[in-house]
Amino acid sequence: MLKRIGAIIAIFVCTAVAWAILGSTVFYRTYNAESGLSGRVASTWGAPQAQAPPAIAREWQEEKTVEVEEKGKKTTRMEKQTHSEPVKIDASRVAATLHIDYRQKGLLWFSTYKVDFDGAYTFQNPTSREEEFVFQLQFPAQQAVYDNVQLLLDDKPLAVTFSGSQALAWMRLAAGAKSVLHTAYHSQGLDNWRYTFSRANAERSTAHEKADGDGKEISQARDFHLLVKTDFSGFDFPDNSLSPTEKRQTANGWELEWNYQSLVSGFDIALKMPQKLQPGPLAGRISYFGPVSLFFFFFLVFILSALRGNHLHPMNYFFLACAFFAFHLLLAYLADHISIHLAFVISSVVSIALVVSYLRLVVDLRFAVMDAGLTQLIYLVLFSYAFFFEGFTGLAVTIGAILTLFVVMQMTGRIRWEEKFSASLPRQSALPA
């Protein structure tokens, strides 16, 4: 009996090593390719976006006498110089509608989204004469696609030109005129969407620098209102970002509002998209958990076999361990190609079928289905499925372990283990008198 137990322990240890190798392989495949896959998704769909308010400035030209040197002689000439002065925004009415649209690459899901942006910014000509104004809308990301870009002044379309990563327009305004600049576009991005009150902060965010508040400029916003509509839940607000002042749940998602009369802050408004269940990390964690499932299974099968007098050979345990390992191996490579839920179901059916079809030949159909099959369903399938519910895995395993201990203690309470162990040991022949 002791040799049999030692052989079973050796089989368990070898299988645990195989699971550790499989789990490490899955995590390597997942995270080694993550940075490259993220870049590919950004290049084909769009990068994280950080929208800043448009820059509004008045421009004028002045003639100035300058001294230049030509062929060793100093001469003077008149040159026109363009001057620019920023104009403050008196009120902002901004709206963004976000639609989640996940994309899968390899063993990872990426939280891609579509965004409809609409902003209305009120400003005034601060001078007592007609001036020319320039409007600059900085796009929220360089790696992105923009459709139906519009700049309107008092509901009249402006002639828009594009330079680098911004849209430009010019218009003359009467003395003291108060106007509203309307900006709008349709785009798509990745992982998170931000509204920042400073163009410098927006450039810092889109350059993938720290977005945690370090090095951010302090900005001011007057009479500011932002409405974000989502068709999803499960989003999050990153650290060092402004929480909404109001939020309402709708039939499809949420309406989030930020309202400020005179805001002074270095924080952005940010929304982190909900994350879908990741097939790669999930399959890796389940693989690392494999030895726990196999331990419970071996333990129960050993006890039930002892109670029923079915003493399984260590080779039988070896094949049972292989059937367990087949579940994790199949799950790890199916998750690349089909839904993780469907891959889990297929892997579970295959593994249970291997165990039941094998033990019906070794013992009988009743033991294979009722004892081994049910035990495998609980400790392999249900325990592994607990990983789909983040935060409850440890609790599920703890409850399962306690219930298992209770059942086994009740089943074996009247067993005389000395007799069980001695019955399986070879009896020594009596010594001659």
> Which residues, listed in sequence order, are joined to residue 171 by a DSSP beta bridge?
133
Each residue's pLDDT tens digit, 289-321: 999 999 989 988 888 887 777 778 899 999 999
In one-letter notation, the amino acid at residue 189 is: G
Q: Tell me how far apart the alpha carbons of residues 119 and 81 are, in angstroms, rounded to a whole number.
A: 32
Report CA-CA distances (Å) from 289 to 45, 137, 169, 205, 279.
Answer: 36, 52, 60, 38, 15
Token code pair at residue 183: 């900006």
Report CA-CA distances (Å) from 190 to 115, 152, 164, 220, 276.
Answer: 10, 28, 21, 27, 13
Of 52, 98, 418, nearest in space to 227 by CA:
98
Q: Which residues of 373-401 are buried (b: 16+ CB within 10 A; e: fewer)?
A: bebbebbbbebbbbbeeeeebeeebeebe
Domains, the chain, ordered by start: 2-32+278-423 (no CATH), 44-272 (2.60.40)
Q: What is the pLDDT along the chain (433 residues), one digit of tens a residue?
A: 678 888 889 999 999 999 999 988 888 877 766 566 666 777 778 889 999 999 999 988 777 776 777 776 777 776 777 778 899 999 999 999 999 988 877 778 888 999 999 999 999 999 888 889 999 999 998 888 899 999 999 999 999 999 888 999 999 999 989 999 999 999 999 989 999 987 765 565 555 444 444 556 788 899 999 999 999 998 999 988 999 999 999 998 999 999 999 999 889 999 999 988 888 888 889 999 999 999 989 988 888 887 777 778 899 999 999 999 999 999 988 888 888 899 999 999 999 999 999 999 998 999 999 889 999 999 899 989 888 887 777 888 888 888 888 888 887 777 776 766 665 544 444 444 4
DSSP assignments along 23-86, one per residue? HHHHHHHHHHTHHHHHHHHHHHT---EEE-PPEEEEEEEEEEEEEEEETTEEEEEEEEEEEEEE
Q: Tell me how far apart the alpha carbons of residues 114 and 25 are, in angstroms, rounded to a whole number.
A: 34
